[in-house]
Amino acid sequence: MMKAIELFAGVGGFRLGLEATKGFDVIWGNQWEPSKKAQDAFDCYARQFHNKGTHSNEDIATVDEKQFTDKGINLIVGGFPCQDYSVARSLSGEKGIQGKKGVLFWEIMRLVREIRPKYVLLENVDRLLKSPSKQRGRDFSIMLASFRDENYSVEWRVINAAEYGQAQRRRRIFIFAIRNDTPYIKHREKVDGKTMLHEKGFFANAFPVLEEIAEKHRPATILLKEDIVEVSDNFSMNYRNAGIMRNGVIYTEELLPDVEEPITLGDILEAGVDEKYYLHDAALEKFKYLKGPKKINRISASGHQYVFSEGGMAFPDPLDRPGRTMLTSEGTTNRSTHVVEDPETGRLRLLTPVECERLNGFPDNWTSGMTDRMRYFCMGNALVVGLIERMANRILDIEEEDQVSIQENPQQLELF
């Protein structure tokens, strides 16, 4: 069993995916919601994984990294907030002070430096690749430089869950980092970036892609600046939806998924739904307006007049397609909330909390015990468990490959 720790755990999506493979032991998990007295997500996590490892409900910035020394931890996982990762030089001119206080990526790197795990697997919103708008790609470049400086290689992929057989059209970036002293990296030193992304890399087997290259977005290769402060101040990059960074050399390409048959919204609906989820006349009219096309005259703060316009959305949501991306506002009277025609009654209604759990691949009633509003919120923040299970199996494949390599070439032990 490979030992792992989970950061920013939410209600345990990463852990569910890891444990589904029977190959991981999550010995510690942290979930803490700042500025909130009620810790609903942590309570759910602690309840569902009762007597399985240590559950931490504390600010990650206060966690003592020394407690993990010599614990044999080989994997760190976590879904962290998208923030401003700008780096400043210290007054004495030393290497950069890593970002503003409270930026949680630096807490990940603090634990990486202490634990030196073989693998790191992270999840974020796909706009991370373009952040910030005034220096596109800077934040992600800082992350890549941080891993480079700790002697890791990184591969990333933006994945739409529905394109790989899941029930939700949820797009997220997944970031896989692996130490450079591993057989996996050593054996691929001479494999070019394109081949890594299409055939030999981390995501290629679990999430197959088409051979052709996207015509609108050509591949690019670039060298990261050595000084992370220079990266923060001046570096920008138009990252594609996939890429790899090795020793500061970045190759990025827009990959086309080899699409699988998804689970549809109709497949995940419950029977016998409670009356409280059905929409009555006032709510129906509000949803029709929110989801319909509109043009509205507005005045900006500077006094400029403009027309705000947006197109119409399918209303109700089609049951023969996977669900749209679920947000934390799911279940409220909001443009992004799903509205379905119930197959039993023919009436329009909201998704139930259980149906939202199914959209993310969680077991039914995983979040029971909290209010419906919080159940929707937690699922809007969650990731798709089935994707993590595939990635976890891929890590186990790499681990097996490395063990075979070391057994066949014992002298490699001297290198690692």
Mean pLDDT of 388-416: 84
**In whole angstroms, what is the distance from residue 395 CA to residue 75 CA?**
9
Closest residue by Cα to residue 2 from 98, 87, 94, 72? 72
CA 184 to chain centre: 23
SS3 29: strand
Residue 12 backbone zone (phi > 0: left; psi -120 to 50: alpha; other: beta): left
Write out the E strands in 116-219.
119-125, 152-160, 171-179
Question: How would DSSP label each residue in 55-85?
Answer: EE-S-GGG--GGGGTTS-EEEEEEE------
Same domain flag for 122 and 6 = yes
What's phi and psi for 28, nearest 5 deg?
-160, 135
Assess whether 181 and 324 both reside in one domain. no
Residues 255 and 307 occupy one common structural domain: no
Q: Does the pLDDT value for residue 7 go beyond 90?
A: yes
Q: Quick one: pLDDT at residue 96?
A: 44
Domain extent for 309: 266-381
Instruction: Using the structure block, give the residue that is written with the tokens 């990261």.
Output: 224
How far is CA 62 from its chain centroid? Answer: 24
CA distance 328 to 379: 7
Please tell me whether residues 162 and 92 are part of one structural domain.
Answer: yes
- Average pLDDT (409-413) is 65
| One domain, residues 234 and 272 | no
Are 243 and 283 members of one domain? no
Percent of the chain with pLDDT over 70: 94
Same domain, 246 and 279: no
Average the pLDDT over 197-219 and give the result.
92
Residues 183 and 325 grouped into a single domain? no
- Specify whether 275 is located in the same domain as 307: yes
Assess contact for 353 and 375: CB atoms under 8 A.
yes
Whichever domain contains 225, its CATH number is: 3.40.50.150
Q: What is the pLDDT of residues 394-406, one digit of tens each?
A: 999 999 999 998 8
What's the rounded Cα separation, in Å, for the pair 60 and 8? 8
The amino acid sitting at 414 is E
Closest listed residue to residue 5, CA positions, set 127, 161, 110, 124 = 110
Give the separation between CA 235 and CA 94, rounded to whole angstroms: 19
pLDDT in tens, 260-288: 999 999 999 999 999 999 999 999 999 99
- d(C-alpha 278, C-alpha 352), whole Å: 10
Beta strands at 294-299 and 305-310: parallel, antiparallel or unpaired: antiparallel
What's the confidence (pLDDT) of residue 416? 46
Q: What mean pLDDT comes out for the span 76-104?
A: 65
- 169 and 293 share one domain: no
356 a catalytic residue: no
pLDDT at 335 over 70: yes
User: Which 8-state DSSP code applies to residue 88?
Assistant: B
Same domain, 227 and 308: no
* 35 torsion bin: left (phi>0), alpha (psi -120 to 50), beta (else): left
| Number of independent structural domains in the chain | 2
Question: What does the pLDDT read at residue 17?
Answer: 98
- 166 and 246, same structural domain? yes
Catalytic residue among 44, 82, 356, 378: 82
CATH of the domain at 321: 3.90.120
